[in-house]
Structure 1
């Protein structure tokens, strides 16, 4: 991809992370779930805080610039290795659109074991970005994203997310997406506008 096509974005390349990072990611996802669901005694919270603080101390000397570490650059790992995203796996990535399998966990609950409504725009925004790449368009920023919630989105269930390019007009790309339950029920739908970056634009 040319510098002009990337706007002001760095040229981030996918990586194959060391096995330890995959283990770390799995453990951190479980820790996130426990952070919002565990109810131990005060002493156990103190012990947990001590261990997390030691982890921070261990990793802090290695903090690097964006795009240097494996997080968000590891296609072989769920969510491309990003703890920001729910763990997803890409099933299809073509110029006709993208399809993912995604499973939300306790960390994403808003209430009554249903996924928090604010989490779904995060997923859809990432799907929109994948559609831009899959269709060969230059890097774009989200101009707007609209979500319609059709049914409750459950946790601990393998769901399907699909996204496709509806229309392109110059720098503008109008994108659609949907999230489906195991039986094909539409859980949420989204549409948005992605704007191609200008050269040097962040």
Structure 2
């Protein structure tokens, strides 16, 4: 799926960037986040894991690049654009006016008592609505995002998200979205995205 990158330039997914194992690496990172969140390891395991993570971080440091050259967040062919911050969103339909997809919230996103942390819901809405607001259009930034929490959003079940461009008024783009757990809406949102003026970062 083509789209606009962070600089406002039309981009096409480059599945070769990062090589064939880039997607595996991101999924491994997600798994580390989940397993760490749900674990209560003994001291010696914590020490061993810390050394391993520090070694991985050191191995990546020499390859640090400017934002426009990084791979993470730009692989539009991968769930979550190839980054581990936002839950992996699997696109079913996407055009310049609507988007639908599926996601499952893992242990990493736990708030308490089996419910998703309240902060991950706006994060996911902003990710999907922001991408939709910019699909086929010049870059816009989030002006506001209003989220209604209708009921608990559960972990470990497949959820669906539907997003829609409602209208455009000059530089303003109004979008809505909802998260569905079966036939129930767990949260919905309305966002305003404003197109950048020439020269705005």
1:86 paired to 2:83: no
Instruction: Note the residue ranges of structure 1 that are not aligned, 5 or more in a row.
Output: none
User: Residues 130-141 of structure 1 correspond to what in structure 2 (within 5 A)?
Assistant: 130-134=131-135, 136-141=136-141
Rounded Cα–Cα distance in structure 1 between residues aligned with 2:87 and 2:10: 24
Deviations 1:32-67 (A, max 9, x none): 012211111101100000100110111111111113
The answer to whether the Cα contact below 8 Å between 1:127 and 1:162 also exists between their aligned partners in 2 is no
> Partner of 2:144 in structure 1?
144
Rounded Cα–Cα distance in structure 2 between residues aligned with 1:103 and 1:6: 25
The answer to whether the Cα contact below 8 Å between 1:110 and 1:116 also exists between their aligned partners in 2 is yes
1:56 paired to 2:71: no
Q: Secondary structure at the match of 1:87?
A: coil
For normalisation by structure 1, the TM-score amounts to 0.90
1:191 paired to 2:190: yes
Number of matched pairs? 196
The answer to whether the Cα contact below 8 Å between 1:7 and 1:199 also exists between their aligned partners in 2 is no
> Partner of 1:23 in structure 2?
24
Q: Secondary structure at the match of 2:68?
A: coil
Rounded Cα–Cα distance in structure 1 between residues aligned with 2:26 and 2:132: 25
> Partner of 2:175 in structure 1?
175
Q: 1:7 to 1:169 in 2, by over 3 A?
A: farther
Rounded Cα–Cα distance in structure 2 between residues aligned with 1:13 and 1:85: 21
For normalisation by structure 2, the TM-score amounts to 0.91
Q: In the TM superposition, what is the alpha-carbon distance from 1:148 to its structure 2 partner? A: 0.3
Q: In the TM superposition, what is the alpha-carbon distance from 1:184 to its structure 2 partner? A: 2.1
Structure with the larger RCO, 1 or 2 (CA within 8 Å, 6+ apart): 1
Instruction: Note the residue ranges of structure 2 that are not aligned, 5 or more in a row.
Output: none
Deviations 1:105-152 (A, max 9, x none): 000111112110111111111111122134x33210100000000111
Q: 1:95 to 1:12 in 2, by over 3 A?
A: closer
Rounded Cα–Cα distance in structure 2 between residues aligned with 1:69 and 1:168: 31
The answer to whether the Cα contact below 8 Å between 2:5 and 2:74 also exists between their aligned partners in 1 is no
> Partner of 1:37 in structure 2?
38
Q: In the TM superposition, what is the alpha-carbon distance from 1:95 to its structure 2 partner? A: 3.3
